[in-house]
C-alpha cells in the first residue's frame, strides 16, 4: 500500500502552520508543538531536518524560532518528501535497478509488471513535483491557529 509517513504528515502540518502564521513571522518549536499537541522532541527533530534541507530557517536568540525559507508557491511536495523520507519509491525495483533492494526480488529478471510500475512511479513523482505548499495551505483555509 502506498502511504505517506507520519513524519511527513507532521512536517507538512508544521510547514502549513508557518505559512499561515506569515512568511516573516517567527514561530518557536514549542509554539508549533503545542498547536498540534505534538511532542516537542518530534517537532524539534522535524524542524532540524527541514532546516538542514533549507526549507525553513532557524533564527537564534531569545525571540528566535523558525520561519519558512522557500516561497510556498515554489516549495513542492517532492522536495518535502525527499527531505523527510528520502527518495520516493513505489516499489524497491523502481528507482535503482542495481540497488540492494532490487536484488531481493525473485522476479527481477523476468518481471511482467516492472514497466507499468515504473510508469506509475514516474506519474506519482511528476504529480508530487506539481503540488505546492501554497496549494496545500490554501486547501486548509478553514483551519485557524
Q: Residue 18 in contact with residue 68, Cβ under 8 Å? A: yes
User: 40-85: per-residue pLDDT in tens?
Assistant: 999 999 999 999 999 999 999 988 999 999 999 999 999 999 999 9
| Residue ranges of domains in the chain, CATH in brackets | 6-139 (1.10.10.10)
**C-alpha dihedral, 29 to 33 to 36 to 42, nearest 10°:** 110
User: 11-45: per-residue pLDDT in tens?
Assistant: 999 999 999 998 779 999 999 999 999 999 999 99
Handedness of CA 40, 41, 47, 51 (dihedral sign): positive
Q: State pTM to two decimals.
A: 0.85
Amino acid at each position: 500500500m502506498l502511504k505517506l509517513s507520519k513524519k511527513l504528515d507532521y512536517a507538512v502540518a508544521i510547514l502549513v502552520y508557518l505559512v499561515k502564521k506569515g512568511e516573516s513571522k517567527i514561530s518557536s518549536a514549542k509554539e508549533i508543538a503545542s498547536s498540534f499537541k505534538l511532542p516537542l522532541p518530534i517537532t524539534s527533530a522535524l524542524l532540524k531536518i527541514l532546516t538542514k534541507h533549507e526549507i525553513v530557517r532557524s533564527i537564534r536568540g531569545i525571540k528566535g524560532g523558525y520561519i519558512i525559507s522557500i516561497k510556498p508557491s515554489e516549495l513542492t511536495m517532492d522536495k518535502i518528501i525527499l527531505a523527510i523520507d528520502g527518495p520516493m519509491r513505489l516499489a524497491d525495483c523502481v528507482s535503482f535497478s542495481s540497488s540492494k533492494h532490487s536484488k531481493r526480488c525473485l522476479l527481477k529478471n523476468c518481471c511482467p509488471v516492472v514497466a507499468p510500475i515504473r510508469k506509475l512511479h514516474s506519474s506519482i513523482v511528476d504529480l508530487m513535483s506539481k503540488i505546492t505548499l501554497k496549494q496545500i495551505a490554501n486547501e486548509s483555509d478553514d483551519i485557524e491557529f
